[in-house]
Structure 1
Amino acid sequence: MADNKEPPPLFDNVDIDKNEEMLDDDDEDIFASAIMEQNPLSNSYNGVSSVQAELPKLSLHDVPESNSYSTLTSPVASSEPINSPLGNLTNDNTDLQEVPINNDDKSISNIKESDSLEEVPTETTDILLKITVTEPQKMGDGMGAYMAYTVKTKTNMPIFKKRVFSVSRRFSDFLGLHDKLVEKYLRSGRIIPPAPEKSVIGMTKIKMSGDKNQEQNSSSTEFVERRRAALERYLNRTALHPVLGVDPDFREFLEAEMDLPRASRTSALSGAGMMRLFNKVGETVNKITYKMDESDSWFEEKTLQIDSLDTQLRSLHGAVEALTYQRRELANCTGATAKSIAVLGHGEVGVSLGRALAQLAETLEKVEVVNRAQSNCDLYQFGEMLRDYVSLIAAIKDVFHERVKVYQIWQHAQMMLNKKRELRARMEQAGRGDKTSQAAIEVIEWESKVERGQEEFDNISQMIKKEIERFEVLRVDDFKKQLIEYLETMLQHQNQLVKHWESFLPEARAVA
């Protein structure tokens, strides 16, 4: 790891306005650690199976070290049997033991539910918030069917009514939660973790899948597992945030036992969905045509870094997806070869040669299993991590664009103030006393709007810097840990392949 280089920031998702639903170049070292004086955060941002979010002070910078999340997803448990594509690679979903809370600490219970909430001060050193998404179940039949997930939470935070609880949520509930957080916090400069994007094709396969088509069911199973894992990562990223993690809407999502109001705005084919599509087109045009005169070199440098990192990660993600596909094809071809050799061994007259062929077929079957496990590892441990970071970069771009929009409002107010002042001057020169007083009132109103616009622009700029600083520390530490885990797993698979072929070597020599 090139620890001496300053890394570009990370994260992404597609353009999101605060009333919209999230849809989904340089050669800098993306693995370099951030040059900061803060202790690196070891809370991983890509946890899937069991995630332990430790927020000691729930502040923006002071987060203690803890075990990183694993990107390997847990097996799918469902009333309708869905086999996890990870096979034996999934981690054990072990329970966390609750840590006693200091009863003298009342700071968390006094959290203000306001948008300006900066930090949650507390003397408690072990705050746990573990969220898992399990048991995806298909509800209903035909095109009216949908997937429901069980969201299980384990915590010792006093702001929650219970220590362990679970609720059932459908996919639109997750998107509805994301919309609420975007509406409340994006304008203030908060980076909102991206929710998984909608997939009309994937859900159509789920709705139309049946027991007769095994290939289609296998594809649907992988789609469900990937979405389940992405939803779990989304909730745990949100829980790690010192402000979003204690938001009343987020707490209601986790512990309200009744069904949440239907988030109709999340439907892609609804009227609201079409309006969001038109708004996104307008936002895209605005991003292209409007260039802000940037006076802060920090934002100029970060914008270039983010664009470069976005290009690098998208390229790497495409390469990993190709690697996953090729390794799966290798596993399929290896399995087909094993079957053919087994048939050939049965028809062989020579006993020693027949036994060797049978042994070779058995070895190839073991190799097929290892290759398939490695392809799952490529996808879930490395590929999904890269996909998440591409989405996080989009979320960063969204908040940067929100700053540009605040700047536009401020400059528009300044332009209108200049016009009102010119109008007042003309009225005074013309001796129109009745019009002069009205123009003076309008000047005062626009002066107030200019002041508010400048204050809002300064506040969002300052907040974005804090958010980027926090995410850089999280990203560098998490990316290193996940990459090391991926490489260790790859070495284990290669060692297994060596052992399989070494066990076959004596049989091959006996034939020779």
Structure 2
Amino acid sequence: MEEIATERANNIIITVTEPQKIGEGMSSYVAYRVLSKTNMPIFNKHEFAVHRRFSDFLGLHEKMTEKYLRSGRIIPPAPEKSIVGTTKLKMSSTSSTENANGANTPSSVQSQFVERRRAALERFLNRVAQHPVLCIDPDFRQFLESEADLPKATSTSALSGAGVLRLFNKVGETVNKFTYRMDESDPWFEERSARIEALETCLRRLFGACESLANERRELGVRTHDAARACAALSGADPHAPLSRALSNLADLHEKIEHLRVEQANTDYYVLTEHIKDYLGLIGAIKDVFHERVKVFQNWQHAQMQLTKRRENKAKAELANRPDKIETASQEIIEWEAKVERGQQEFDQISRVIKKEVERWEEARLDELRTTLLRYLDEHMKHQAKSIRYWNAFLPEARAIK
């Protein structure tokens, strides 16, 4: 499949909509409608829709990782599990509110949690869809097309036995990353590793600043609401009619500004902050494939050490004139020479694939970041234009006070 994949812009667009809570209590879950539109001939239709639960997305990511990470493919990260957020969502009532699409969703904080997860799932699927190899994977096509429920991915549960085992494996992998350092001989990897580390540091600082900005903007909206209530109360208590009318209009103005602040905070968070978090996840995926390359190098070096050891054993057997041991050592040498050759081939192959993957990611990153910044600026310019219109409309009321 990797041989027939071409470096083309895949014409497939995926939309994740209508998050809907199914069931009650801890056995409940949220299902999402996954709508796909494409003209790629490998799919049976040009447009199709299925319903998937969060664990299905995690199961897809796990399958992709098992099949392609060792070959050096960058697997787009799936949204992180949140035990606290998921538990609150499970214990909330399904009859609280309805979203714009008509699906039942929990209100306030829970609805924000669901929307953040929905947007992250949509970005995950579209990143997979734009990858020239991952997009033609049979499991990915089944995920998008099959109307039947997928087998439950129990291994994705954070509290399952498989989940605990996977956690221990991740801890072991992390320890291995810190304890083993490979003497890099390729200037390309040396330069890219340093660049990615610097980029990750800067993005983490930017993510923290943008997250604080969104929170402060929400707090500003709350304070604007307080100002609106105070102005409304004052307008009812002031006996001067023109001043009372102006204060009443000022209260209405602050209510409009309050909603505008909330919209601005959502723009800060959903348009910019979440995308920065996405890039941090992608950098983590890149570091994972770099580590896979180190593991392949370790296996290659281990095979070379074993080959050297077998050659030493043969030399000792020849000095001791032990024909039986000479024959055994010769056979082992042939086997380990083949392993060394395979190890070098695997290392060269994964190095080539990673270079191609990183270069493709860097090109896509520039386009995505440009699009994100332009959308972010456009949204804030619209917000500022609305704010100016609101204040200009109030100005005659203030001047009319006599």
Instruction: Return the alpha-carbon distance in structure 2 between the equivalents of residues 232 and 262 of structure 1.
Output: 20
Change (3 A) 1:365 1:438: same
* 1:70-85 correspondence runs (5 A): none
Instruction: Return the alpha-carbon distance in structure 2 between the equivalents of residues 211 and 469 of structure 1.
Output: 45
Unaligned runs of 5+ residues in structure 2 are 98-105
* 1:124-139 correspondence runs (5 A): 128-139=11-22
Provide the residue aligned with 1:494 in structure 2.
Answer: 384
Letter in 1 for 2:16: V
1:362 matches 2:252? yes
Provide the residue aligned with 1:161 in structure 2.
Answer: 44
* 1:24-43 correspondence runs (5 A): none
Provide the residue aligned with 1:57 in structure 2.
Answer: none
Provide the residue aligned with 1:311 in structure 2.
Answer: 201
Larger Rg, first or second structure (1 or 2)? 2
Provide the residue aligned with 2:23 in structure 1.
Answer: 140
The CA deviation at 1:357 is: 0.6
Instruction: Return the alpha-carbon distance in structure 2 between the equivalents of residues 337 and 248 of structure 1.
Output: 57
Change (3 A) 1:458 1:478: same
Provide the residue aligned with 1:176 in structure 2.
Answer: 59
2:332 to 433, 437, 442: 442
The CA deviation at 1:381 is: 0.6
TM-score scaled by length of structure 2: 0.95
Instruction: Return the alpha-carbon distance in structure 2 between the equivalents of residues 469 and 231 of structure 1.
Output: 24
1:481 matches 2:367? no
- Cα displacement string for residues 381-420 of structure 1 (whole angstroms, at most 9, x for unaligned residues): 1111111111110000000000000000000000000000
Instruction: Return the alpha-carbon distance in structure 1 between the equivalents of residues 24 and 268 of structure 2.
Output: 34
* 1:5-404 correspondence runs (5 A): 114=1, 116-117=2-3, 119-120=5-6, 128-210=11-93, 217-404=107-294
The CA deviation at 1:227 is: 0.4
Figure out how many residues of one structure are paired with residues of the other and give that number: 394
The CA deviation at 1:127 is: 5.8
Instruction: Return the alpha-carbon distance in structure 1 between the equivalents of residues 114 and 253 of structure 2.
Output: 32
Partner SS state of residue 400, structure 2: helix
Partner SS state of residue 241, structure 1: coil
- Cα displacement string for residues 109-149 of structure 1 (whole angstroms, at most 9, x for unaligned residues): xxxxx3x3353388xxx963121111111112111111111
Partner SS state of residue 511, structure 1: coil
Letter in 2 for 1:157: M
The CA deviation at 1:217 is: 3.2
Partner SS state of residue 121, structure 2: helix
Letter in 2 for 1:233: R
Instruction: Return the alpha-carbon distance in structure 1 between the equivalents of residues 382 and 33 of structure 2.
Output: 33
Instruction: Return the alpha-carbon distance in structure 2 between the equivalents of residues 366 and 481 of structure 1.
Output: 29
Q: Are 1:128 and 1:155, in contact at CA under 8 Å, matched by a contact in 2?
A: yes
Change (3 A) 1:475 1:151: same
The CA deviation at 1:434 is: 1.0
The CA deviation at 1:245 is: 0.6
The CA deviation at 1:333 is: 1.0
| Runs of 4+ off more than 4 Å | 211-214
Instruction: Return the alpha-carbon distance in structure 1 between the equivalents of residues 279 and 41 of structure 2.
Output: 32
Instruction: Return the alpha-carbon distance in structure 1 between the equivalents of residues 96 and 80 of structure 2.
Output: 26
Q: Are 1:129 and 1:239, in contact at CA under 8 Å, matched by a contact in 2?
A: yes
Q: Are 1:265 and 1:273, in contact at CA under 8 Å, matched by a contact in 2?
A: yes
Provide the residue aligned with 2:102 in structure 1.
Answer: none
Partner SS state of residue 19, structure 2: strand
Letter in 1 for 2:375: E
Q: Are 2:14 and 2:37, in contact at CA under 8 Å, matched by a contact in 1?
A: yes
Partner SS state of residue 183, structure 2: coil
- Cα displacement string for residues 223-252 of structure 1 (whole angstroms, at most 9, x for unaligned residues): 001101110110010000011011111001
Instruction: Return the alpha-carbon distance in structure 1 between the equivalents of residues 227 and 7 of structure 2.
Output: 62
Percent of aligned pairs sharing the same letter? 58
The CA deviation at 1:363 is: 1.1
Q: Are 1:211 and 1:217, in contact at CA under 8 Å, matched by a contact in 2?
A: no
Q: Are 1:127 and 1:156, in contact at CA under 8 Å, matched by a contact in 2?
A: no
What CA RMSD, in Å, does the superposition of the two structures yield over aligned residues? Answer: 1.6
TM-score scaled by length of structure 1: 0.75
- Cα displacement string for residues 322-359 of structure 1 (whole angstroms, at most 9, x for unaligned residues): 11111011111101210121121012211111111111
Partner SS state of residue 70, structure 2: helix
